[in-house]
Structure 1
Amino acid sequence: MRSRADDALAQAAVDALTGQLELAPKPGLPDPRDLNARTTRRDHRALRWSAKALAPGLAAMAAAARRTGEPTPRLRTELGAIGRCTEHSVGLAGGGHRGALWALGLLVAAAALDPRAAPRDVAATAKRIAAHPDRRAPRRPSRGSSVSARYGAAGARGEARAGFPHVRRAWDALTAARSAGATEAEARLDALLTVMSTLQDTELLYTAGPLGLRRVQTGARAVLEAGGTATEPGRRALDALDTDLHAHAWSPRGSAGLLAGALFLDSVPVRAASPARAA
């Protein structure tokens, strides 16, 4: 049976995902600017709507973790089953968010195991859950796993089994930018670019190949090296990167999902430590 704390964690994860969607300008990614573009308006609205369809599944993952009490193989198997059911529900609501569901599901479960854990401890617990194989997972390879095997990229599973290093880097970048005086939107954009600058994004590898991936990583680093999005040179570099990605129809979707994970971790100390607030 779900508790109010489980629902609060799930809502925090959905809020993180919708917060990522609302951020603009995101290079090559859906954002509110698309509402003014006839060809992409439906896509962005569908993504915002389908993000809300994640909530029941994420709450069920939190409840499963709370019942199990430890990052066991049994919990990993149960999370996989819930995740596949949630993917189906999200598909009916418009689709999308598969990578974000994987990351947020593990992080929500980890937060439920220790409601007072700090962000880095949540990521470490998620790593322990991800270390177990999902013995009931379908045996057919996914596009992401095929790309990972072809290019030697870590992929979503590798990211989780390493303790979500890019989520942690994004969270560090987020807090550093805030401390330096950036606005919340600028801090979140800098966190996204931090992920884009080093992530071996399997979506980009699939659509753009290794040369395209390196081009995107170089463009993201250029923004950060120019001083980040809070500076005029950084903003110009961001605009150039955005124009380049849209011209090539390249979308760093893996980075977007990991930013959502960082935004969730950022909310964990307040949301998870005080379940009574969800009443």
Structure 2
Amino acid sequence: MKAAAPATREPRLAKAAEVIARAAAAALREELATAPKPGLVTLRDPGAHRDMDARTFLASLRALRPDLAAAACAGVEGAPFEALRALGRAAEARMLVATGGVNTHRGAIFGLGLLAAAAGRLAAAGRPWTAPALADTVREAFSAGIWTALPPAPGSHGAGVARRYGAGGAREEAAAGFPHVMAVGVPALRASLARGAGRRAAAVQCLLALVATVPDTNVLHRGGPTGLAFARAAARVFLRDGGVHRDGWEVRARAIHEAFVRRGISPGGSADLLAASLFVHRLDRMGAPG
């Protein structure tokens, strides 16, 4: 089954769509390679998960590459949210085939798909890929469609969490233009890199900044408010004590990882926002394709 990408005839815009897709795929690979990553799947171990590991994620990544390009092309062509939703459904189907029915990237398909389409719209308008411009474009072009077309699925984990705890989850984050990505994730990544951290360490700092802040519905589903409070407190202590800019940070991050695994906590929502932050940061540094 091939991704149904809209035709993009102008060479400049076709090139832009390809650049966007490559940046999105690189962000997903980088998210997987980030470690230690408390409770989450890495190249080293499956974290708190029993149904997936790095091989599952890599199979999904290979399958989704055409869908990232399709989302970017749809943005270039000015496609509405409903068109993106159809592309997202096709991407989810491909993911499930590739992983044997395991949901590895549903949140990333949604978030990166919207951001890739926003980047395509900016390219078509001749505007640079700044973080504020991406956020504004998502809100202006897709927010109404998100609220109209995506009511919470009655039996989903997200619907249950929203009903019990009032957490909005991925839908609310996207409709608002990814505020945690723009105000927490990307600034944490930039600041850590500016202080001399390597890319992997800066990604860990970014993730823990998100865990400390985001009302992660994955954590709420698995651990309830107590689990969320525990995860946030652990992340905040790590950051307060210097984060990745203090000697021995990997040992401390590994200890948090092991504590999350023991409690069955997996901050998957924060991981999706890490991937989005890595993607936005890559595009922001590029500015715009040549």
TM-score, with normalisation over the residues of structure 1? Answer: 0.88
Map 1:116-127; keep pairs closer than 5 Å.
116-127=128-139
Q: Residue type of the partner of 2:238?
A: V
Q: What is the match of residue 98 of structure 1?
A: 106
Moved more, 114-123 or 254-263: 114-123
Structure 2 unpaired stretches of 5+: 1-6, 9-13
Pick aligned residue for 1:30 from 38, 41, 46? 41
Determine the C-alpha separation between the residues in 1 that align with 2:246 and 2:170: 32
Q: Distance in 2 between matches of 1:261 and 1:190?
A: 15
The one of 83, 87, 90 equivalent to 1:85 is 90
Conserved? CA contact 2:130–2:287, under 8 Å: no
**2:251 and 2:58 mapped to 1: Cα distance?**
28
Residue in 1 that maps onto 2:241 = 226
Distance 1:41 1:178 in 2: 34
Aligned to 1:71: none
Name the residue aligned to 1:10.
21
Deviations 1:230-260 (A, max 9, x none): 3136444323311110112211011111000
Number of matched pairs: 268
Give 2:166's aligned residue.
Answer: 152
CA gap of 1:156–1:54, structure 2 versus 1, over 3 A, is same
Q: 1:28 to 1:213 in 2, by over 3 A?
A: same
| 8 Å contact from structure 1 (residues 223, 235) kept in 2 | no
**Separation of aligned partners in 2, 1:154 and 1:41:** 26
**Could you say which residue in structure 2 is the equivalent of 1:21?**
32
Distance in 1 separating the partners of 2:51 and 2:160: 31
1:137, CA displacement in angstroms?
5.4
CA contact (8 A) 2:144 2:175 kept: no
The offset of 1:76, in angstroms, is: 0.8
1:115-264 equivalences under 5 Å are 115=123, 116-133=128-145, 140-141=153-154, 142-168=156-182, 169-232=184-247, 234-264=249-279
Alignment check: 8 A CA contact 2:27 2:278 kept: yes
Q: Is the 8 A contact 1:144 1:202 kept in 2?
A: yes
Measure, in 2, the Cα distance between the counterparts of 1:272 and 1:182: 22
Aligned counterparts of 1:133 and 1:50: Cα–Cα separation in 2? 27
The 2-side partners of 1:269 and 1:131 are apart by 22
Report the Cα distance in structure 1 between the residues aligned to 2:55 and 2:32, rounded to whole angstroms: 10
RMSD: 2.2
How much has 1:40 moved relative to structure 2?
Answer: 6.3
> SS of 2:243's equivalent?
coil
Cα distance, 1:5 vs. partner?
2.3
State the shift of 1:24 in Å. Answer: 1.0
